[in-house]
Amino acid sequence: MKYLIVGLGNIGSEYRDTRHNIGFMAAHRLCEKLNVTPELDRHAYYALGKYKGRQLHIILPTTYMNLSGKAVRFHMKKHDIPIDNIMVITDDIALPFGRMRLRGKGSAGGHNGLKNIEEVLGTNEYPRLRFGVGDNFSRGRQVDYVLSDFTDDEFIDIPDLLDQCVEGILSFVTIGLGKTMTELNKKKKD
């Protein structure tokens, strides 16, 4: 069984610890757990991890957020991975900080990375794990907010939340979308 795990974010040190890069952070945490290191490949940093007989093809697109679909499509085709075996991890301002929501399909919800993936793949029916980053911004300041760093208090919680995210990814590849949604979507940040 092969899976494509996509952590969305923007490349560059200026984006490293921003809310918009939580997908990258989760992908890196997954790589640490599987003891693999992403290396530069076509359209993404790429690593192959193995877990309980599954191959996890992990990518962090280098195309920047708004062109993420290009990397997703390339690696889907290159590794012959069906759309049901993709998981895209992304930030979500509609969810409180630390809350995670897994879905098998859905709208982009104004997220440019998800919009581009939907455009390139021609469907919105692919699993996505949305990681809540909160919505503590003034009207018209959404871009500044998602491109800002997490607060010091939030950073304290990030390692545990990333571990929960990785548990959700590993559950998805072993027991499937339905059961993982039931477990992950009911969890709340302590």
Rounded (5°) CA angle 145-148-151: 100
Q: Give, rounded to a whole angstrom, the gap between the first and last alpha carbons of the chain.
A: 34
**H-helix or E-strand spanning residue 16:** none
Q: What is the C-alpha to C-alpha distance for residues 124 and 157, in angstroms, rounded to an integer?
A: 31
Question: Is 20 in the active site?
Answer: yes
Active-site residue, selected from the candidate residues 20, 57, 75, 111: 20
**Cα dihedral 37→39→42→47 (10° resolution):** -20
Single out the residue of 115, 31, 104 nearest to residue 65, CA to CA.
Answer: 115
Which residues are tagged catalytic? Answer: 20
